[in-house]
């Protein structure tokens, strides 16, 4: 749970912030995820969650900046453009006014693994995390820590081995972390909404509703459950650890 603390080598070139108007709906999506509690800050001040979009045909992409989880709405100055990533050297080069998110290498891995993907979101939700693992969703090895070359490579391998233009990937070694990817923002919303609705957890981060006319999601007050108030049970990491370590693919 230490999103916001960069483990990779980040080379930032100070430049004008990116033009968000070139990415219709991206800022709105990020705000909606923040309102739903899927992006935010833990009680200890650690931020979590980020959103990215491919620039043209790539490989460059725009991503929410590091340690911006506390802000509901992000100005252009809070976004960064990632121009180059190296899994081998666990490093990246970006430009803007803020360093790129510490999960940039995993976003890059998704884009490289599936050329049809144009959007990636990394959210945190205990109900979603738990239900997806229990349901046998694709997952990275529990030993692959966030922000490292190991998890970036694991993400690449999982996404590259699956068909379709969108999907869900659980970051088993990054508690509560879930990646959703797709070719359109609409796909991200649809996939995430379906996953939350199918969750068997009574904790109602599962109650995001999209209103077509308003083109937004709304989370009712009774459904907003702080992460630190969630009920802890048997760790889902233990449920998948043996299967992952044996290199047997999880059913999707």
Q: What is the pLDDT of residues 110-139, one digit of tens each?
A: 999 999 999 999 999 988 999 999 899 999
CATH code, domain carrying 155 = 3.40.225.10
Q: What is the pLDDT of residue 9?
A: 87
Is 161 part of a structural domain of the chain? yes
High-pLDDT (> 90) share of the chain, %: 58
Degrees, nearest 5: CA angle 73-28-189: 130
Q: How many CB atoms lie within 10 A of CB 113?
A: 17
The pTM (predicted TM-score) of the whole model is 0.78
pLDDT over threshold 50, residue 97:
yes
Q: What is the mean pLDDT of residues 161-189?
A: 93
Residue 180 included in any domain: yes
Q: What is the pLDDT of residue 200?
A: 55
Q: What is the pLDDT of residue 186?
A: 95
14 or 248, greater pLDDT: 14
Which residue is associated with the tokens 């309102």?
35
Q: pLDDT tens, 187-214?
A: 999 999 999 887 654 333 333 433 332 3
Lowest mean pLDDT among 63-72, 179-188, 197-206: 197-206
What is the band of 7 on the pLDDT scale with cuts at 50, 70, 90? low
Per the CB < 8 A criterion, the answer to whether 118 and 53 are in contact is yes
Say how far apart CA 52 and CA 102 lie, in whole Å. 12
Q: Is 183 inside any structural domain?
A: yes
Range in 43-52, 137-146, 160-169, 204-213 the model is least confident about: 204-213
Residue 25 inside a domain? The answer is yes
pLDDT of residue 99: 95
Of residues 63, 65, 75, the one with CA closest to residue 121: 63
3 in a domain, yes or no?
no
Confidence of residue 224 (pLDDT cuts 50, 70, 90): very low
The answer to whether residue 168 is domain-embedded is: yes
The residue that leads in pLDDT, 149 or 192, is 192
Task: Check: CB of residue 92 under 8 Å from CB of residue 66.
Answer: no
Using the predicted structure, report yes or no on whether residue 53 has a pLDDT greater than 80.
Answer: yes
Average pLDDT over every residue of 240-244? 28
Task: Look up the domain containing 57 and give its range.
Answer: 9-245
Under the banding of pLDDT at 50, 70 and 90, the label for residue 8 is low
> Per residue in 231-251, is it b (16+ CB within 10 Å) or e — as a string?
eeeeebbebbbeebeeeeebe
Please give the average per-residue pLDDT across 93-100, as a whole number: 96
DSSP 153-215: HHHHHHHHTS-SS-EEEE-TTSTTEEEEEESSHHHHHHHHHHHHHH---SSGGG--EEETTTT
How many domains are there within the chain? 1
Residue 2: inside a domain, yes or no?
no
Please state, in angstroms and as integers, the Cα–Cα distance from residue 89 to each residue in 33, 72, 177, following that order.
31, 33, 23
Task: Of 7-11, 78-82, 142-146, give the lowest mean pLDDT range.
Answer: 7-11
Between these two residues, 209 and 148, which has the higher pLDDT value? 148
Give the percent of the chain with pLDDT over 70.
Answer: 75
In a domain, 40, yes or no: yes
């Amino acid at each position: 749970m230490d999103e916001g603390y960069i483990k990779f080598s980040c080379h930032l070139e100070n430049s004008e912030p990116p033009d968000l108007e070139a990415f219709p709906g991206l800022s709105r999506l990020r705000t909606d995820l923040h309102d739903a509690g899927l992006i935010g800050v833990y009680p200890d001040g650690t931020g979590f969650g980020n959103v990215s979009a491919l620039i043209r045909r790539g490989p460059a992409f725009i991503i929410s900046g590091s340690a911006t989880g506390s802000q509901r709405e992000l100005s252009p100055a809070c976004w960064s453009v990632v121009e180059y990533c190296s899994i081998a050297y666990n490093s990246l080069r970006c430009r803007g006014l803020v360093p790129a998110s510490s999960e940039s290498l995993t976003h890059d891995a998704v884009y490289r693994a599936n050329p049809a993907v144009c959007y990636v979101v990394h959210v945190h939700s205990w109900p979603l995390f738990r239900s997806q693992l229990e349901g046998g969703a694709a997952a990275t090895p529990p030993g692959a820590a966030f922000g490292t070359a190991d998890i970036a490579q694991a993400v690449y391998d999982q996404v590259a081995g699956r068909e379709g233009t969108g999907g869900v990937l659980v970051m088993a070694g990054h508690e509560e972390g879930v990646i959703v990817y797709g070719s359109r923002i609409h796909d991200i919303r649809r996939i995430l909404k379906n996953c939350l609705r199918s969750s068997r957890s009574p904790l109602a981060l599962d109650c995001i509703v999209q209103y077509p006319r308003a083109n937004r999601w709304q989370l009712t007050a009774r459904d907003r459950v702080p992460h630190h108030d969630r009920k802890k049970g048997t760790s889902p990491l233990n449920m998948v650890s043996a299967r992952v370590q044996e290199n047997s693919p999880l059913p999707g």
